[in-house]
Amino acid sequence: LQERRDAYELVVRRSPHYFSAQRPRGPVNYATQSAQLSEIRELAPDQATWSFSSQQATLRQLNKAFESFFRRVKSGETPGYPRFKAAHRFDSVLWPKDGDGAKWVPETNRVYLQGVGHVRVTSPP
């Protein structure tokens, strides 16, 4: 989870630069950030440990937060700029589908998560 919080924070803290005159040309959205993710994974081997799809899911969450922010700005509502999510607010990671960085092993009630290993799963009471 710390890796995802760090990535989320990096994008949120970097985003105000996109509103300045020095910002790169073109939109900064999920598509551009997902393309940058490939470059980041090449430069930082520790990032390549994690499922690419799972990292993309984190970027989709962030993109949704910014889309909601801009929708509220446009409609005149109190926007609430997306902020860094502290550990107690960022408590999960998404794996979009079974077999892509995550694999359910029903015989042992475990799930294999790329970069984490096998995790025992219990049903809620």
* Residue 10 identity: L
Pairing of strands 117-120, 110-113: antiparallel
pTM score of the predicted model: 0.62
- Please identify which residue in the block is written with the tokens 């924070």: 9
Tens of pLDDT, residues 38-93: 777 777 777 778 888 888 888 888 888 888 988 999 999 988 888 766 767 767 77
Q: Helix (H, G, I), strand (E, B), or coil: what is residue 72?
A: helix
CA distances from 97 to 23, 72, 81 (A): 35, 31, 30
Instruction: Identify any residues that bridge with 75 across adjacent strands, giving them in sequence order.
Output: none
